[in-house]
């Protein structure tokens, strides 16, 4: 679980320049927060939406607030893309992902070819993690919400590893709990869709999980159809 402390709430004014978000706090103050998400934030960036921010005052930070989640369609949706890796690392260390077993360690950030994959598991293989939040249809989690050349590169690296006989997995972490199946948003990024299909044919394991998201914290939830 990722516990959130020192949080404040407010309402979204605007998200702009990819990594900035203006918020009117509940006390009326207007602040600019760091938005740790390079995607389009489709569906969770409308003015007036409730938001939760973590507060990290430090002279080393340009912005003392970090955007953590947005309330949309009756549920909290996590938008901090740093959290999924932490959740997967916790699960791997606890050996609580039933689809992945038999590894003898957990090594973050492994360089493979021209890419840096999120985890190398000795005696098993490689794992890449992607944050997902988008829901355009009932109960359907989708990725990506914007064109992602980096995501395509990761899929190709995983495909090559699988073709060489290594185990390889891509885990989509949906930071919301109102979805029960996953699909690639092929209309948004056809190249990613094609690379996804190639990776599946090569033997890359595709997994997707939900999260329980609340202002108190974020917990890895259940596996969904992928």
- Residue 180: what pLDDT? 97
Q: Which two tokens mark 177?
A: 């709990």
Q: Are residues 89 and 199 in the same domain?
A: yes
Give the separation between CA 142 and CA 132, rounded to whole angstroms. Answer: 7
- Residue 49: what pLDDT? 98
Q: Are residues 16 and 56 in the same domain?
A: yes
2-6, 124-128, 141-145, 209-213, range with the lowest pLDDT:
2-6
- How many domains, in total, are found in the chain? 2
- Residue 114: what pLDDT? 74
In contact, 59 and 66? CB cutoff 8 Å: no
- Residue 16: what pLDDT? 96
Given a cut of 90, whether residue 217 has pLDDT beyond it is yes
Give the rounded percent of residues in the chain with a pLDDT score beyond 70: 100
Rg (C-alpha) for the chain, rounded Å, is 18
Final residue in a domain of this structure, among 53, 74, 95:
74
Separation of CA 118 from chain center: 12
52-61, 179-188, 199-208, range with the lowest pLDDT:
52-61
Q: Are residues 210 and 152 in the same domain?
A: yes
Q: At 61, which CATH number? A: 2.40.50.580
Q: Are residues 28 and 88 in the same domain?
A: no
The tens digit of pLDDT for each residue in 16-36 reads 999 999 999 999 999 999 999
Given a cut of 90, whether residue 218 has pLDDT beyond it is yes
- Residue 215: what pLDDT? 97
The tens digit of pLDDT for each residue in 75-119 reads 999 999 999 999 999 999 999 999 999 999 999 998 887 778 999
Q: Are residues 160 and 103 in the same domain?
A: yes
Q: Are residues 10 and 66 in the same domain?
A: yes
Q: Are residues 177 and 136 in the same domain?
A: yes
Domain holding 17, by residue range, is 2-74
Residue bearing tokens 């355009």: 136
> What's the pTM value of the predicted model, to 2 decimals?
0.96
Final residue in a domain of this structure, among 57, 74, 91:
74
Q: Are residues 202 and 127 in the same domain?
A: yes
Final residue in a domain of this structure, among 74, 108, 130:
74
Give the separation between CA 162 and CA 47, rounded to whole angstroms. Answer: 44
Q: Are residues 31 and 138 in the same domain?
A: no
Instruction: Quote the DSSP letter at residue 225.
Output: B
Q: Are residues 188 and 97 in the same domain?
A: yes
Q: Are residues 50 and 99 in the same domain?
A: no
Given a cut of 80, whether residue 148 has pLDDT beyond it is yes
Q: pLDDT grade, residue 59 (50/70/90)?
A: confident
Q: At 128, which CATH number? A: 3.40.1350.60
Q: Are residues 45 and 97 in the same domain?
A: no
């Amino acid at each position: 679980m990722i516990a959130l402390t020192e949080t404040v709430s407010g309402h979204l004014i605007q998200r702009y320049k990819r990594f900035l978000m203006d918020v009117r706090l509940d006390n009326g103050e207007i602040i600019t927060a760091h938005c740790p998400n390079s995607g389009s934030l489709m569906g969770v960036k409308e003015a007036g939406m409730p938001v939760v921010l973590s507060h990290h005052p430090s002279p080393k930070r340009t912005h003392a607030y970090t955007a953590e989640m947005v309330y949309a369609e009756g549920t909290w949706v996590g938008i901090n893309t740093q959290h999924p890796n932490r959740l997967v690392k916790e699960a791997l260390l606890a050996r609580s992902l039933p689809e992945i077993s038999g590894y003898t360690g957990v090594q973050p950030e492994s360089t493979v070819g021209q890419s840096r994959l999120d985890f190398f598991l000795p005696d098993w293989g490689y794992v890449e993690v992607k944050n997902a939040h988008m829901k355009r249809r009932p109960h359907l989690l989708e990725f990506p919400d914007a064109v992602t050349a980096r995501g395509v590169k990761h899929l190709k690296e995983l495909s090559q590893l699988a073709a060489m006989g290594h185990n390889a997995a891509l885990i989509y972490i949906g930071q919301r709990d109102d979805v029960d199946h996953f699909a690639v948003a092929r209309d948004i990024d056809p190249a990613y869709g094609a690379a996804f299909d190639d990776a599946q044919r090569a033997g890359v394991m595709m997994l997707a999980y939900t999260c329980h998201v609340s202002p108190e914290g974020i917990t890895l939830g259940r596996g969904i159809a992928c």
